[in-house]
A and B are shown apart, each in its own frame.
Chain A
Amino acid sequence: MEKAIKVKNVSKKYKLYSGNKERFLDLVTPKSYGKDFYALTNVNFEAEKGDIVGFIGINGSGKSTLSNIIAGILPETTGFVKLNGEAALIAVASGLKGDLTGRDNIELKLLMLGFNKNEIKQLEPEIIEFAELETFIDQPVKSYSSGMKSRLGFAISVNINPDILIIDEALSVGDKAFAEKSLEKMREFKKRGKTMIFVSHSLGQMKEFCEKILWLEYGVVKDYGTTDEVLPKYEQFLKQWKKMSNKERKKYRNDKITENMKQFQSRAFIYGQRRRKW
């Protein structure tokens, strides 16, 4: 089978500064200021063409960071991502310009994605139809309700026909009818053998839709396998997690992060990985 996504040793480092002074010093001096925070540490995973992979994990586990890196919106700090084809990310807050009308936004967005005049002309009616905005399509986007906005964003991303589709919590917006319609579109994509990544907290949707599950925990891949394999484990973990008190959760979190860092650093040492400042 052909590989569609290959993520190798990807880490994402953020710097946490206690104030503007530290931020400035870090920028202009060679010495490092501020605390390192790894949103992802040494993530490896591969997806074959036609796979539907779900990302699960509790809040702050790095699901969105990873999907943003795969979509090419965020740069990785180390490691690399290899994609076979174009990726499109659908997120709730997709960049739309408030002062422009829905129609202008469609055109602008398509232009930025590299479509030419004819292609845009062809795609535009499909998108408008899918978004169900009717007369609002010629109104400025700032007057839209949040449901309308996400419908428009969703319609654009879906209709550009990407090879790899990354859906970040986007199916939870809109009413039932629209969600059903979106799922229908997803099924169509599935049939056409497109690779998809789902990021969601809804285990029900995951179970119905995904074939593989990537379980992230504090920036590390905890488990990766078929849905039947991983999802029960995750459910069990969630039960445990719910029972924990805040203090226990904190302790669990800190323990895990130290453990991950230790592993990461020894590995980085072995491979002599160059860690860049930027």
Chain B
Amino acid sequence: MKSAWKVIKEQIDHFYLIRRLSLYELKNKNKNNYLGMAWELISPSIQIMIYWFVFGLLLSREDVTMGGEPVPFILWLIGGFFVWTFFYQSIIQGSKSIYSRLRMLSKMNFPMSIIPSYVIFSQFYVHLAMISIAIIIYQVMGYYINIYYLQLIYCIFATFCLLFAISLITSTISTIVRDFHMLLSSTLRMFLYISGVLWPLSKLEEFPWLLNIMQLNPLYYLIQGYRAAFFGTEWFFITNWHLTIYFWIVIIVLLIIGANMHVRFRKHFIDFL
């Protein structure tokens, strides 16, 4: 618990640093491309076109029901896919964040817990841009901005907390055992298929026990929250209050585990390089 407070306090105290460093992060990554940061938007757009082509045209998926109304598959896909990209990129980058940047640090008293968070933050700018694109698409397609959009703020904050808690754990393990990062990057894609990004979990209605288990995936909770906002169906986190409580318990547990591991090992990270 003490470590968790310490880590949270470091985030608050060094918020300016997180913001500035995350900008350098983006800059550094796209320095060699002529199109620069535009690639952060181009590559997910291409990906979504591929999925739309495969699932929307070739396999002609039927409309998905959101709050009693049918929604075209591609629009339903976009709402979850942008969250997925944010999640996937942040987890991958977050996991290698510490060991790949440790050499840069010239001081050990640098608050190391902000390394994963500024890496996540650099993905966050991209996420914001993608949300804006999604909103524009939705306006064109006739799903207008509504009062439920307010819950986007909650969803973004919750996503951030989840990513940070996971990254604290993964970045520590990856620094000590480099294989962990390889394992993570090769198994993470599985979550694309089980988190309700590509197909609605309601397809599993015949297997209620399986459906219940899959709903416990915190990523699923977040994706459904974003979609509820975009399509204006409900206040997702209130109507599913039991999932909300479960989600925050998971976050707190992950954060306590992650913070303890991080604080315990951070002094010795440099010995593992």
Contacts and interface: CB of A to CB of B under 8 A. Distances in A.
Interface of A: 14, 24, 27, 71-75, 88-89, 94-95, 97, 99-100, 104, 107-109, 111-114, 116, 140, 278
Contact of A111 (B20, B109, B176, B270): B20
Contacts of B108: 72-75
B176 to A, nearest CB: 7
Contacts of B239: none
B107 A140 contact: no
A234 to B, nearest CB: 30
Nearest to B105: A112
B207 interface: no
B103 interface: yes
Contacts of B109: 72
A104 B271 CA distance: 28
Interface stretch (B26-34, B156-164, B253-261): B26-34
A27 B270 contact: no
A100 B110 contact: no
B270 A73 contact: yes
Contact of A112 (B28, B31, B110): B110
Contacts of A89: 106
Given A75-B271, A99-B31, A278-B268, A113 B106 contact: yes
A27 B28 contact: no
Given A74-B270, A75-B268, A99 B103 contact: no
B27 A100 contact: yes
B176 A109 contact: no
A104 B27 contact: yes
B17 interface: yes
A108 B103 contact: no
A73 B107 contact: yes
A74 B17 CA distance: 23
A111 B21 CA distance: 8
B39 interface: no
B24 interface: yes
Interface in B170-206: 176-177
Given A108-B24, A140-B31, 10 more contacts: A14-B271, A72-B107, A74-B270, A75-B271, A99-B32, A100-B28, A100-B31, A112-B17, A112-B105, A116-B16
